[in-house]
């Protein structure tokens, strides 16, 4: 009796249909697609959640000019989110588009960093959050312009121009508030102190990001962490503010572990689509 069963013609037919891919080729492809999908969600969710946060200022900002400025930032970010989430849906291949990903995912499925979901607080806290995030986002997009992924590079080339303005606006207001009155300086310092603990997450490199960095799709944020801290330090020096002391970092947003604030943000944002899931207009 042979030690192995004979190879039947139907077995040969199955093997022929599997060419040129072997049994170990597909998992690697799946891992790359999964990592790319996750990264697109990160880019899209960051922009979506911060855009939603900034839109809360519409009609409530301290001056009409500021009201319009923050609304324009929100529109830019929602536009970026639309591009990234639509591409994420295509990458996933399950028939979901950007709207489905924005309005029909639960809190634990969002991959945004914790910084962008933090409450607006007062105007100074909003500016502190915007300064810390936009400076990082601008540097990230500058690097992503050279991505090996065509969509990512084109997305970055378009978005980096918008975010350069976001960074400039936040920097100018940080200086105005910090070098303004005693009250404005106190509030700006308090806003920075609140947001500072979320900065380390921006430079966290996990397995998903490492895989994409190796392929040239993503950039290593640690490569520009020094430049980031130097840039923030310069703005704060101009604002006559101290760089906040390092705090215990709070991580987890990229893995779906969020603060209570995200659920409160998503509830009104997703209400209409959840209430009337089949509605079209």
CATH of the domain at 204: 1.20.1260.10
- What is the number of domains present in the chain? 1
pLDDT at residue 1, as a whole number: 42
pTM value is: 0.88
Q: Is residue 200 part of a domain?
A: yes
Decide if 14 is inside a domain: no
Host domain of residue 204: 31-275
3-state DSSP of the chain: CCCCCCCCHHHHHHHHHHCCCCCCHHHHHHHHHHHHHHHHHHHHHHHHHHHHHHHCCCCCCCCHHHHHHHHHHHHHHHHHHHHHHHHHHHHHCCCCCHHHHHHCCCHHHCCCCHHHHCCCCCHHHHHHHHHHHHHHHHHHHHHHCCCCCHHHHHHHHHHHHHHHHHHHHHHHHHHHHHCCCHHHHHHHHHHHHHHHHHHHHHCCCCHHHHHHHHCCCCCCHHHHHHHHHHHHHHHHHHCCCCCCCCCCCCCCHHHCCCCHHHHHHHHHHHHHHHHCCCCCC
Domain-embedded: residue 141: yes
pLDDT tens by residue, the chain, 281 residues: 445 555 666 656 655 555 544 444 444 448 899 999 999 999 999 999 999 999 999 998 888 888 899 999 999 999 999 999 999 999 999 999 999 999 999 999 999 999 999 999 999 999 999 999 999 999 999 999 999 999 999 999 999 999 999 999 999 999 999 999 999 999 999 999 999 999 999 999 999 999 999 999 999 999 999 999 999 999 999 999 999 999 999 999 999 999 999 999 999 999 999 999 878 77
Query: So what's the pLDDT on residue 242?
Result: 97
Question: 18 lies in a domain?
Answer: no
């Amino acid at each position: 009796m042979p030690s192995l069963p004979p190879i039947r013609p139907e077995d040969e037919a199955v093997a022929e249909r599997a060419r040129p891919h072997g049994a170990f080729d597909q998992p690697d492809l799946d891992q790359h697609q999964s990592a790319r999908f996750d990264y697109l969600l990160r880019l899209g969710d960051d922009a979506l959640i911060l855009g939603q946060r900034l839109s809360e200022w519409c009609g409530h900002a301290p001056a009409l000019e500021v009201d319009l400025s923050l609304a324009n930032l929100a529109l830019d970010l929602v536009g970026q989110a639309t591009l990234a989430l639509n591409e994420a849906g295509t990458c996933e291949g399950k028939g979901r588009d950007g709207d489905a990903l924005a309005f029909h995912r639960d809190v634990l499925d969002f991959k945004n960093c914790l910084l962008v979901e933090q409450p607006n607080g007062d105007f100074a806290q909003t500016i502190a959050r915007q300064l810390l995030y936009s400076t990082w986002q601008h540097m990230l997009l500058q690097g992503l312009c050279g991505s090996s992924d065509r969509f990512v590079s084109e997305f970055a080339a378009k978005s980096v121009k918008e975010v350069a303005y976001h960074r400039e606006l936040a920097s100018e207001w940080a200086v105005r508030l910090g070098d303004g009155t005693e009250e404005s300086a106190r509030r700006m310092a308090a806003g920075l102190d609140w947001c500072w603990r979320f900065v380390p997450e921006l430079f966290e490199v996990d397995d998903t990001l490492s895989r994409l960095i190796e392929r040239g799709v993503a950039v290593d944020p640690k490569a520009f962490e020094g430049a980031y801290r130097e840039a923030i330090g310069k703005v704060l020096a101009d604002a006559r503010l101290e760089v906040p002391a390092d705090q215990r970092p709070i991580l987890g947003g990229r893995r779906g572990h969020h603060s209570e604030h995200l659920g409160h943000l998503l509830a009104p944002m997703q209400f209409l689509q959840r209430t009337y899931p089949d509605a079209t207009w």
